[in-house]
Structure formats: structure tokens, C-alpha cells
Structure 1
Amino acid sequence: LIFSVFKTLTDQQVTVELKNDLSITGVLKSVDQFLNIRLDNIKVSDESRHPHMMAVKNCFIRGSVVRYVQLPAEHVDTQLLEDATRRGMSCNWQLQSGNR
């Protein structure tokens, strides 16, 4: 589900916060099933702490180092996410009830 949401956001601007507190904003170019992310036209939130990133224009971010991804609210179908979450919770509840 999450993978499909990211696929619909290709060519949209997103902000990725890494586990080392580095935040990178850029245009989402691709994402894979491991949530590895490729961004173009990147900008780092705190250039004084990360001056080596000022010359970088595109980057590949390994999914395991991502803490958060901020998505543009106007491009996310929240109703679809809520419905999928409810279906998943209902399925889990039915599985747990059947094991009793």
C-alpha cells in the first residue's frame, strides 16, 4: 500500500528526513519496493551543518536510513489510505478471532 502511494507521487516535491537528522527536499523521481528513494533538484534543510551536500543535485536514499517522508497533502488520497487501513485492521481482527 505505502509503495503504491509513493509511486503516485513521482515528480512531486517531498521532504525526506533521515535517521541522522539530515532533511532533504527534492523531486521524487523513483521509489522501489524497499522504499529506496531517488530525488532530483535536492536542497538540504541546514546547509551550514552539511556543506558537502550543497554541490549535490540528485541523490539516492536507502530506505533503511529514512525516518520520515513528508508528502504534499494535496496529492495524497487520504480516503484511500483510511479505507485500506480499515480493511487491514478488519482482516487482522478476523484472523485473531478465528484463532481463539
Structure 2
Amino acid sequence: MLFLHVFRTLQGKRITVHVKNGIVIEGTLQSIDHFYNIKLINTETKDAGNLNMVSTLSTAYIRGTSVLYIELPKDEIDLNILHDATRRQEETEK
């Protein structure tokens, strides 16, 4: 649950979610649960193609199983701390 904690510290920050069907949604992270279901507010859609209804959403609920990957703001993440925490978690699971 290390990464869930990282995502929860990013609530209120702008993230970009790439969905498996090719849609890219950027918005402010409002909430995320342990299934990685994401709620974004103040969204902007990129690469929505001809899906006009998606491009006009102000709030988006994205199911965790449909997420391809998530772009996080570089200035909000301390990679050294994240690397160390990942190593410690791996060692405790052995």
C-alpha cells in the first residue's frame, strides 16, 4: 500500500491519467481508494478523439482497472524517499 499513500499525499494536485482506451485525462486529484479508483475534478481531456461527451466533463470517476498509467507532478515527489521506502518494503516482504 506504499503507492496508495503516495497518491493520497497528492490529493489537491494536478495529475494526468492515461486510460487503456487511449483517452488522457488531466485533473485535480480529489480522491483515490485501495482499488486505485480515481476521482478527478477540474478535468481537461486530451486525445479524446470523437468522444465529445468525454471532453466536456468537469468531474471524472476512473475505475482503477481501466488505468494504463498515471503521470505525477515531478516537483511533488521526492524520488529518493520513494526509492528507499520501496526497498525497505521489499526487504520486509522477503
TM exceeding 0.5: yes
Normalized against structure 1, the TM-score is what? 0.84
1:87 aligns with 2:88: yes
Mapped to 1, the partners of 2:12 and 2:73 lie a distance apart of 11
Deviations 1:15-70 (A, max 9, x none): 00011111000000011111110000111112443212132110111111101000
| Structure 2 residue runs without a partner (length 5+) | none
Normalized against structure 2, the TM-score is what? 0.89
- The alignment-based identity, stated in percent, is 37
**Poorly superposed stretches of 4+, deviation over 4 Å:** none
Aligned length: 93
Alignment of 1:51-62 (within 5 A): 51-62=52-63
One-letter code aligned to 1:10 = Q
One-letter code aligned to 2:63 = R
Q: Which moved more, 1:82-91 or 1:18-27?
A: 82-91
The aligned residue for residue 98 of structure 1 is: none
SS at match of 2:44: strand
Mapped to 2, the partners of 1:85 and 1:70 lie a distance apart of 18
| Structure 1 residue runs without a partner (length 5+) | 96-100
Mapped to 1, the partners of 2:55 and 2:70 lie a distance apart of 21
